[in-house]
Amino acid sequence: MQDYRAYIMGSDGHVQNRVDLRCNDDAEAIRLAKQLVDGRDIELWQLDRHIETFRHTAERPIPRQSITADRAR
């Protein structure tokens, strides 16, 4: 088992929290870190080795006017 850390990043780019993970390999750590993405970016590290950054996707609502304008055509 290997130790990994998933850092939950704030909108200002600073670490807001940390989740310690014990996994068999990078693939398992990546799978678990992806599950933590919930409106925040996650950086996955093993000691001083950056493995991957998982970006959250901010869904932007379609403005009501745009929907109405498209239907009117």
Q: Which domain holds residue 44?
A: 2-72
Distance CA 46, CA 54 (A): 15
Distances, alpha carbon 26 to alpha carbons 39, 47, 68, in Å: 23, 12, 48
How much is the pLDDT for 57?
78
Q: What is the pTM of this model?
A: 0.75
Provide the residue-wise pLDDT of the chain in tens; the chain has 73 residues.
Answer: 999 999 999 989 999 999 999 999 999 999 999 999 988 999 999 999 999 999 987 554 444 554 444 444 4
Q: What gap in Å lies between CA 4 and CA 32, rounded to an integer? A: 10
Looking at the structure of the chain, the number of domains it has is 1
**CA distance linking residue 43 with residue 16, whole number of Å:** 11
